[in-house]
Amino acid sequence: MASSARSDETLKEKRTPLQLISQGPCLPGIPQHPTFASQRQWMLEKMALAFRVFARLGYTDGMAGHISVRDPENPHTFWTNPLAVHFGLLKASDMILIDYEGIPVGGNTSRPANAAGFLIHSAVHKARPDVVAACHTHSVHGMTWSAFGRPLEMLTQDCAYLYGEAQAVFHDFGGVVLTQEEGDRIGAALGAKGKGLILQNHGLLTVGTTVDEACFLMTLMERACQCQLLAEAAAANGLPKVLISDESARYTFENSSDPETLYWEGQPDLQYEEYMCGGKHRE
């Protein structure tokens, strides 16, 4: 029996997180594309769907909020959304390609991009070559929890996706981001391993190796902020919080928060938006 148990543990150690979560046939890996052009179109379509997810969930806030996706062929450039267009209306053809100097070099150059968004996203992409996509929103619970200047506690399984260095707090809010220095400080605050950043008195920022991953982490982080606020309210009335242990949080993180699993975590919401918009996001 002991030998059999050890064999089971050895087999489990060799399985990927995606294999562990798939009972039966394993979900496939992140799609690969034969050309830069096909990969770019795929990314832009996913980007449009991610914005529609944010619209449905109520993350819109005037002209604020943006997603960036690093171009697969020219990694010193990234795609972002036009200023003052509702998230729920965005299509692949609406996106603007911008270089690190802030110059529009492709896509929908007839519309301006968000200047604050450019400063934030360019700093993140420069600081983290591994980051393909970044999302920033002014979601209600994210903004509210950001006022405390504290990281999320390990209250739920979802919070454990942001265990340890995967989340950080940017404390030095200096108003609307309109200087390169402010953008650079935000990029540095994310750190080398960060997936989610709480911008104090501002909102949330998430990153990923796909826009699907960054989008899902944004929805996860917003829900985690909501849970944290509800838990704080209950605790203020005398109910003690019970946190997940470091060991359990680390185990969950290591077996759930990898790029392939997070890519697939994002698919249900993106699939729903594709169905609801009837494919208009591809235009």
> Tokens 């301006």 belong to which residue?
112
| Whole-number CA gyration radius for the chain | 19
Q: Is residue 73 part of a domain?
A: yes
Q: Is residue 4 part of a domain?
A: no
What are the tens digits of pLDDT across the range 198-226? 999 999 999 999 999 999 999 999 999 99
Q: Is residue 16 part of a domain?
A: no
Question: pLDDT class for 6, splitting at 50, 70, 90?
Answer: very low
Distance CA 35, CA 196 (A): 30
Burial of 247 (0-12, 13-18, 19+ CB in 10 A): exposed
Q: Is residue 18 part of a domain?
A: no
Reference 186, options 162, 205, 212; nearest CA is: 205
Report the CATH number that the domain containing residue 251 is assigned in CATH: 3.40.225.10
Sign of the torsion angle spanned by Cα atoms 101, 143, 189, 164: negative
DSSP 129-184: TT--EEEEE--HHHHHHHTTT-PPPS-STTGGGG-GGGEEEE----SS--SHHHHH
- Enclosing domain of residue 55: 34-277
Q: Is residue 1 part of a domain?
A: no
Q: Is residue 15 part of a domain?
A: no
Question: pLDDT class for 9, splitting at 50, 70, 90?
Answer: low
Question: pLDDT class for 44, splitting at 50, 70, 90?
Answer: very high
Say yes or no to pLDDT of 1 above 80.
Answer: no
Q: Is residue 20 part of a domain?
A: no
Q: Give the bridge partners for 97, in sequence order.
A: 79, 106
Helix (H) or strand (E) holding 66: strand 66-70
Distance CA 281, CA 188 (A): 33
Q: Is residue 29 part of a domain?
A: no
Question: What SS3 class is residue 191?
Answer: coil
Look at the chain and report how many structural domains it folds into. Answer: 1
